[in-house]
Amino acid sequence: MVKRYANMAFIYAIIAMIFGVFYREFTKFNHFTGQTNLSVMHTHYFLLGMFFFLILMLVEKNFHFSDQKHTSKLILIYQVGLNITGFGFLMRGLTQVWETNLSNGMNASISGIAGIGHLLMGVSMILLLLKIKKKAV
């Protein structure tokens, strides 16, 4: 599992860098100078992707908390949540750069997408922390 967590950290570092370049180039191409949610995708993927899995790697190395079945499901749910959140940020950011007028329903839908992603990440993170706590004691 240690190697798996290291691989996931590497993948999310690459994704974070891609979104950083995308943000810079996309806003430059569209002559956009205001605030956009695209600017936070880079840091979200670095912190909630790369750093999260680096920390899990170190914790796994010390406490051996992972079991194949249960932990893999929690990690999958976490990653789904992270990427749903990223998709919500991407949709919000694109509409901001393009200065799209959104209906109240569409605006709420984009916020709801990001909210569902945050919820999945939060629940899976708490369950992972409980697993780690059980092994650490």
The domain containing residue 37 runs over which residues?
A: 2-62+69-136
The three-state (H, E, C) secondary structure of the chain, written as one string: CHHHHHHHHHHHHHHHHHHHHHHHHHHHHCCCCCCCCHHHHHHHHHHHHHHHHHHHHHHHHHHCCCCHHHHHHHHHHHHHHHHHHHHHHHHHHHHHHCCCCCCHHHHHHHHHHHHHHHHHHHHHHHHHHHHHHHHHC
Residue 114: its pLDDT value, please?
Answer: 93
**Domain total of the chain:** 1
Buried b (16+ CB within 10 A) or exposed e, 30-43: eebeeebbbbbbbe
What proportion of the chain, given as a percentage, has pLDDT over 90?
Answer: 92
Under the banding of pLDDT at 50, 70 and 90, the label for residue 110 is very high
Statement: residue 16 has pLDDT above 90: yes
Q: How confident is the model at residue 130 (pLDDT cuts 50, 70, 90)?
A: very high
Instruction: Check whether 136 has a pLDDT greater than 90.
Output: no
pLDDT digits (tens, 9 = 90+) for 40-84: 999 999 999 999 999 999 999 999 999 878 999 999 999 999 999
